[in-house]
Amino acid sequence: MNLNVRLYGNLSRSFENYDSAGGLIIELPEGASVNDLLVHLNISRSRAGMVLIGDRLVKKDEKLCEGAGVRIFQPLFGG
């Protein structure tokens, strides 16, 4: 299945040709989860603060579906 993945914060710096306007098109097998996507992208669970599919916040074990728009944010800190 194909996914459109957008990375936020410093996460995109790991990808030399990352297109901030269009993101990445990633192909994963059917039944893959958010965690499988993170492993594929070599993003540790601790570096992925929030993951959204569309406008919905999801857990790392959430199953992905064809054409999903996935947004991955680094953890946010502040004070």
Read off the pLDDT of residues 23-68 as tens digits, 9 standing for 90 and up: 999 999 999 999 999 999 999 988 899 999 999 999 999 999 999 9
C-alpha distances out from residue 46 to 52, 72, 76, 79, Å: 16, 12, 12, 20
pLDDT attached to residue 17: 87
Q: Which domains does the chain have, with CATH numbers?
A: 2-73 (3.10.20.30)
pTM of the model as a whole = 0.90
* CA distance linking residue 33 with residue 38, whole number of Å: 9
* CA distance linking residue 9 with residue 43, whole number of Å: 13
pLDDT attached to residue 79: 64
